[in-house]
Amino acid sequence: IKNIGVFTSGGDAPGMNAAIRAVVRSATYYGIEVTGIRRGYEGMINGEFFTMDRKSVSNIIQRGGTILKTARSEQFKTTEGRRLAYDQLKKHNVDALVAIGGDGTFTGARIFGTEYDIPVVGLPGTIDNDLLGTDFTIGYDTAINTVIDAVDKIRDTAESHDRVFIVEVMGRDSGLIALRTGIASGAEAIVIPESKTNIDALCERLEHGRKDKLSKIVIVAEGDDAGGAFEIGRHVKERFPHYDTRVSILGHIQRGGRPSCQDRVLASRVGVAAVEALRDGHRNEMIGVIHNEISYTPFEHACKHNVEINPNFLKIVEILAI
Ligand code: ATP
C-alpha cells in the first residue's frame, strides 16, 4: 500500500480529529502517503482530495468536529455514484481507504469493498455507541459527559422550583446515551427504545416514587417509540397536573466540544491499528477495542442493529431512585 485515503462520514463526533491525526501520523511513520478526502463519500465523488502530511494534523487532537468535514451522500448509494468515487480514487492514486463514521458509513464501505478491489477499513466514529465489535465508539464518552454536565445544571433549577424535567438526549435508534447518563445524573426514570417503556409504566413510576421529592429528572432517548420528550411531557402534565413539568431537548450540543481523554486515546489506538491492519492485508473490517484489546469486525457484523443494552442498568436506576 502506497497511498491511504482518509475521510469522515455521517454524523460528526468528538475525537474524529484525533483519529485522523493518528491515521496520518502512523501512515507517515510506515512510509505511506496519505490523501485527505473532504466531505465523506460526497467529496470522494466530487474529487475533493488533498495531500496530507504530519503537519496537516498539528494542533487538532483537542478539537471537536472534523477538519475533513463530513456529509451524507445519496449519490454514493447508487452504482453510478460509487463508480465515480472509484474513478476519483484511481485518478489520485489512492489504493486503500480508512473510513471514519457509523453504521451507514460502513454499509457504504462494505458495498464499495465488494464492487471494487480497494481495501477499506473503518474506525467507529459516532456518539451513539451503536456498533458491534467495539466496547465504545469514538465520541460517545465526550457526548455522555456533555449530557451529564447539562443535566446537572437542569437539576439545580428543577430542585429550586420543584419541577419535573423530561430531558431528551440523542440516540435515534439506540438508548445507550440515555442509559448511562440516566444513571450518572441520578435520573428517576429512563425511557429508551430498547425497553419499550410505555407512558403508563413511566407514570406509574412517577406516581409510586418518592412523595417527599417533587423535582424529578426523566431521561428520554430521542428515538423512543413513546413519541419523544414533548409527547411524554404532555402525558405527564395531563396525568399529574399538580407537577410543574418542563421539557428540555439537549440537541446538538451533544455532538460538539473537546474530546475527552478516553475518546482521544481510543481514536489514537484504533487510528494506528487501522494503518497497521491495511499493511497486514485486512479489509472490509471495523477496527475497535474490546476488553482493552484491538479487535477486527467485518462491516456486516459491526452494523447489525442489535447492540444489546444491559438490563441491569435499568434496574439500577429503579433501585437508586428510591
Ligand atoms: P451516524 O450514525 O453518526 O449518523 P452514519 O455513518 O451511520 O453516522 P449515515 O448518514 O447513516 O451516517 O451514513 C453516512 C453515509 O454512508 C450516507 O450518507 C451514504 O453516503 C453512505 N451510505 C449509507 N448507507 C448506504 C448504502 N446502503 N449504500 C451505500 N452507501 C451508503
pLDDT (tens digit per residue) in 17-55: 999 999 999 999 999 999 999 999 999 999 999 999 999
Ligand 1 pocket: which of 41, 107, 120 to mutate (most atoms within 8 A of CB): 107
Q: Dump the DSSP string for 144-212.
A: HHHHHHHHHHHHHHHHHHTEEEEEEE--SS--HHHHHHHHHTT-SEEE-GGGT--HHHHHHHHHHS-SS
Among candidate residues 188, 252, 253, 244, the one with its CA nearest the CA of residue 220: 188
Per-residue cell: 189: 426514570
Rounded to an integer, what distance in angstroms lies between the CA atom of residue 139 and that of residue 175? 15
Per-residue cell: 107: 454499509
Give me the pLDDT at residue 197, please.
Answer: 67
Residue 222 assigned as binding residue: yes
- Tell me which H or E stretch contains 312: helix 311-320
Q: Give Cα 284 distance to the centre of its chain.
A: 20
Instruction: List C-alpha distances in Å: 319 to 10, 182, 220.
Output: 37, 13, 18
- Tell me which H or E stretch contains 114: helix 103-115
Per-residue cell: 286: 471495523
Rounded to an integer, what distance in angstroms lies between the CA atom of residue 260 and that of residue 139? 8
The length of the chain in residues reads 322
> Per residue in 274-318, pLDDT tens?
999 999 999 999 999 999 999 999 999 998 766 778 888 888 988
Ligand 1: which residue has its CA nearest to atom 12? Answer: 10
- Ligand 1: residues with CB < 6 A are 9-11, 41, 72-73, 76-77, 101-105, 107-108, 111, 126, 128
Residue with cell 445507550: 176
Atom of ligand 1 nearest to the CA of 101: 6
Residue 163 assigned as binding residue: yes
Residue 242 assigned as binding residue: no
Q: What is the DSSP letter of 321?
A: T
Which amino acid appears at position 253 of this protein?
A: I
Ligand 1: which residue has its CA nearest to atom 20? Answer: 73
Of 12, 95, 128, 263, the active-site residue reads 128
Tens digit of each residue's pLDDT, the chain (322 residues):
999 999 999 999 999 999 999 999 999 999 999 999 999 999 999 999 999 999 999 999 999 999 999 999 999 999 999 999 999 999 999 999 999 999 999 999 999 999 999 999 999 999 999 999 999 999 999 999 999 999 999 999 998 998 999 999 998 888 999 999 999 999 999 999 888 767 888 888 888 777 777 789 999 999 877 678 999 999 999 998 988 999 999 999 999 999 999 999 999 999 999 999 999 999 999 999 999 999 999 999 998 766 778 888 888 988 898 8
Q: Is 270 helix (H, G, I), strand (E, B) or coil?
A: helix
| Predicted model pTM | 0.95
Ligand 1: which residue has its CA nearest to atom 23? Answer: 104
Establish whether 128 is a catalytic residue.
yes
SS3 content of the chain, % helix, strand, coil (to 5): 45, 20, 35
Query: How far does the centroid of ligand 1 lie from the alpha carbon of residue 108, in Å?
Result: 6
ipTM associated with this complex: 0.93
Ligand 1: which residue has its CA nearest to atom 6? Answer: 102
CB atoms within 10 A of CB 241: 9
Residue 15 assigned as binding residue: no
